[in-house]
Amino acid sequence: MPTLLSENEIVSGLKELMGWTRSGGEIKKTVELKDFVHAMGFVNSVALLAEKANHHPDIDIRWNKVTLALSTHSAGGLTANDFNLAKAIDAL
């Protein structure tokens, strides 16, 4: 099982990400795309990374806006898995 990150690790992890905020035991990001078609393109790119990592964010689609939330449910909070996937998503 992945290890929960410490507060210090979470704070420094967030500094390496773009546009993610912490909300309790998860990190969230909302991305605004040009329209629904582009939102779905982004969602599918995220989905491919998620399936590859076997780590799946919650994904909320509101026409051109996509909100992602990452948490490691099996560990009950944030682990390196969340920050690694967030970093990969930022690099899309």
Residues of this chain that interact with a copy of itself (CB under 8 A) are 36-37, 40, 43-44, 47, 50-51, 56, 58-63
Q: Measure the CA–CA gap between 1 and 91, rounded to whole angstroms.
A: 26
**Cβ(31)–Cβ(66) below 8 Å:** yes
- Three-class DSSP category at 11: helix
CB of 18 to a copy of itself, least distance (A): 22
CB 63 to a copy of itself: min, Å? 5
User: Of 12 and 36, which CB lies nearer to a copy of itself in the complex structure?
Assistant: 36
Work out how close the CB of 58 gets to a copy of itself at its nearest, in angstroms, rounded to a whole number: 6
Contacts with 18 (C-beta within 8 Å, 6 or more apart), sequence order: 90
